[in-house]
């Protein structure tokens, strides 16, 4: 896949270790002072009466649930934020309005945004609401650019189709699902990881791959994009 760039070298940071030395001074008391603390045994019984409540408090289980609550949220949060990477997925065909286009890699994202704008303007003009997330289907790629189909799912046929527009169905079949977070320019790293995953699993992908834009690309900052990448398998 020419969409993928070369691996970047990983940087290793060395963490310095600091050693802390603790010193405790010892002082000697004169034996002449020992008779003076003879009065201390009298206040000793007073604290001996106070220890009676503490054991009763330690026996009560009221404190244990509070402590058990704290470790529970972290694992739950970790599971919720984990993104699928190479998860088996079955693509279901959807009715879509589509626009075919071509673009160079240097202006790739601008070309995709323009395609989505044209399709969105068409839907607004016809009063048709989108029935799913916008998608890009890459049909071919080379070193300089690529051909693509921009698609928006709909529940009804759209009229007044413009140039290079048509109605059709989105891709279907078995695929692997990956998730990309961040800018479109950084997707090279995602596709590189996908290629490594396919090589490790000895899986063969088709010539096309699909990007589903979970965040609205027309309203979301580019570095905040969330994109599902589907790789159809042979």
Q: How many CB atoms lie within 10 A of CB 137?
A: 20
Query: Among all chains, which residue has been given the structure tokens 């916008």?
Result: 134
Coil/strand/helix, residue 138: strand
Taking the domains of the chain in order of start, what are their residue ranges?
87-232
Terminal alpha carbon distance of the chain? 15
Rg, C-alpha atoms of the chain: 32
Q: 34-59: buried (b, 16+ CB within 10 Å) or exposed (e) per residue? A: eeeeeeeeeeeeeeeeeeeeeeeeee
> Does the pLDDT value for residue 12 go beyond 80?
no
Q: Are strands 85-91 and 145-153 parallel, antiparallel or unpaired?
A: unpaired
Place 53 in a pLDDT band, splitting at 50, 70 and 90: low
Place 84 in a pLDDT band, splitting at 50, 70 and 90: confident
Burial class of residue 134, CB neighbours in 10 A (0-12, 13-18, 19+): buried
120: which residues sit within 8 A by CB, 6+ positions away? 130, 152, 218
Cα-based angle 158, 163, 166 (whole degrees, multiple of 5) = 40
> Does the pLDDT value for residue 47 go beyond 90?
no
d(CA 197, CA 67): 40
Q: What is the pLDDT of residue 40?
A: 45
Coil/strand/helix, residue 145: strand
127: left (phi over 0), alpha (psi -120 to 50) or beta: left
User: Which architecture characterizes domain 87-232 according to CATH?
Assistant: Alpha-Beta Barrel (3.20)
| Digit-coded pLDDT (tens) for 141-193 | 999 999 999 999 999 999 999 999 999 999 999 999 999 999 999 999 999 99
Q: What is the pLDDT of residue 78?
A: 40
What tokens does 151 get?
């698609």
Query: Among all chains, which residue has been given the structure tokens 């009298």?
Result: 42
Q: What is the mean pLDDT of the chain?
A: 77
What value does the mean pLDDT take over residues 10-22? 32
Q: What are phi and psi of 38, to 5 degrees?
A: -60, -25
Burial class of residue 8, CB neighbours in 10 A (0-12, 13-18, 19+): exposed
d(CA 150, CA 211): 10
């Amino acid at each position: 896949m020419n969409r993928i760039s070369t691996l970047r070298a990983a940087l290793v940071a060395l963490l310095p270790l600091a050693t802390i030395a603790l010193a405790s001074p010892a002082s000697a008391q004169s034996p002449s002072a020992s008779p003076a603390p003879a009065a201390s045994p009298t206040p000793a019984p007073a604290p001996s009466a106070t220890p009676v409540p503490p054991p009763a408090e330690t026996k009560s289980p009221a404190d244990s649930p509070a402590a058990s609550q704290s470790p529970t949220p972290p694992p739950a949060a970790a599971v919720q934020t984990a993104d699928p990477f190479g998860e088996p997925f079955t693509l279901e065909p959807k009715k879509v309005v589509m626009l075919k286009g071509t673009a160079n890699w240097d202006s790739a994202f601008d070309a995709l945004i323009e395609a989505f704008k044209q399709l969105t303007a068409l839907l607004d003009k016809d009063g048709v609401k989108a029935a799913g997330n916008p998608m890009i289907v890459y049909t071919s790629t080379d070193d300089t650019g690529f051909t693509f189909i921009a698609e928006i799912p709909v529940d009804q046929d759209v009229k007044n189709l413009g140039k290079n527009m048509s109605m059709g169905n989105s891709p279907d079949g078995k695929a692997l699902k990956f998730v990309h977070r961040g800018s479109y320019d950084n997707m090279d790293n995602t596709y590189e990881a996908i290629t490594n995953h396919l090589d490790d699993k000895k899986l063969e992908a088709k010539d096309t791959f699909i990007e589903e834009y979970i965040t609205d690309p027309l309203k979301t900052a580019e570095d905040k994009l969330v994109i599902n990448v589907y790789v159809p398998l042979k």
